[in-house]
Amino acid sequence: MTEHFVRTSTALMSPPLVPEIRLHLAGEVVPLWRKTEVELEREGVPPPYWAFAWAGGLALARYILDRPMRLGSVLDFGSGSGLVAIAAAKAGASKVLAADIDRFAAAAIALNAEANGVEVEITTDDLIGRDGGWDTILVGDMCYERPLAERLVAWLEVRARAGAAIYLGDPGRSYFPQSGIEKLATYSVPTSRELEDREIRETSVYRYTG
Ligand SMILES: C[S@@+](CC[C@H](N)C(=O)[O-])C[C@H]1O[C@@H](n2cnc3c(N)ncnc32)[C@H](O)[C@@H]1O
């Protein structure tokens, strides 16, 4: 049912900034958002974040595809469409785990990994607080809600101290940390007025230093 919903709500296309990756994405924002509300709200299904490539994830994917680095084992936290996980797999990660608590995102990630010919493990567990021994943790556009951002940053602090390399992509969301970060690169990310209320979002990639 989840896979069917993803397939019938999206088309396979390349997002802006990352033409080498193809994803099942919604062409228009409002119809799918409404469809999710109407068809799935009773089951407590969250909005279809997985059907869009968010500015933070796009910048982060571009960054890791362009900069050869030793990623080792990677966690893509809050994977959505799987964009960043797929970029990590293409950039040579030894293994990639995509984590998203939405089961529709899990279905989208599986379809998208297959469409790009890469292997990505998928979990719908909330991994905040866990230690998976990841060498690299990638976080695309996750600081849009205060409680989530606070839990996430506290956990990233612990993981950074344990030696994980942590990279975040963020277009200036309200709850993005203002300290413990080093800016690495900035991109002008094309987006849509429906999603972001503007056509371009200046979006940066940061390393979390703690
Ligand atoms: C704004 S989207 C970002 C998706 C992707 N990283 C990107 O940049 O395109 C946020 C995603 O985080 C997921 N999410 C929210 N809380 C989460 C949690 N505790 N663990 C894992 N995923 C979570 C949502 O389901 C959603 O797919």
Q: How many Å lie between the centroid of ligand 1 and the Cα of residue 151?
A: 13
pLDDT in tens, 13-52: 999 999 999 999 998 887 887 888 777 666 767 889 999 9
Q: Which of 13-22, 39-48, 65-74, 131-140 has the lowest mean pLDDT?
A: 39-48
Residue-wise pLDDT tens digits, 75-113? 999 999 999 999 999 999 999 999 999 999 999 999 999
Q: Is 85 in the pocket of ligand 1 (CB under 6 A)?
A: no
Ligand 1 atom having least distance to the Cα of 56: 8
Q: Is 82 in the pocket of ligand 1 (CB under 6 A)?
A: no
Contact 179, 171 (CB under 8 A): no
pLDDT at 66 over 70: yes
Is the distance from the beta carbon of residue 108 to the nearest atom of ligand 1 less than 6 Å? no
For ligand 1, atom 12, the nearest C-alpha belongs to 78
| Nearest-CA residue for atom 11 of ligand 1 | 78
DSSP code per residue over the chain: -HHHHHHHH-EEEPPTT-TT--EEE-S-HHHHHHHHHHHHGGGTPPP-GGGS--HHHHHHHHHHHHS-----EEEEES-TTSHHHHHHHHTT-SEEEEE-S-HHHHHHHHHHHHHTT---EEE-S--TT-----SEEEEES--SSHHHHHHHHHHHHHHHHTT-EEEEEES--TT--SSSEEEEEEEEEE--HHHHSSSEEEEEEEEE--
Nearest residue CA, atom 19 of ligand 1?
Answer: 126
Cβ(141) to ligand 1 under 6 A? yes
Q: Which CATH architecture has domain 2-208?
A: 3-Layer(aba) Sandwich (3.40)
Residues 5 and 104: their CA atoms lie apart, in Å, by 8
Indicate whether residue 54 lines ligand 1 (CB < 6 A).
yes
Strand partners, 11: 25
CA of 140 to the centre of ligand 1 (A): 8
**Residue 20, both tokens:** 């080498």
Q: Where are the domains of the chain?
A: 2-208
Q: pLDDT (tens digit, 9 = 90+) per residue, 146-164?
A: 999 999 999 999 999 999 9
- Ligand 1, residue 57: give the atom nearest the CA: 8
Q: Is 79 in the pocket of ligand 1 (CB under 6 A)?
A: yes
pLDDT tops 70 at residue 122: yes
β-bridge pairing 121-123 and 136-140? unpaired
CA–centroid distance, residue 68 to ligand 1 (Å): 25
pLDDT at 45: 74
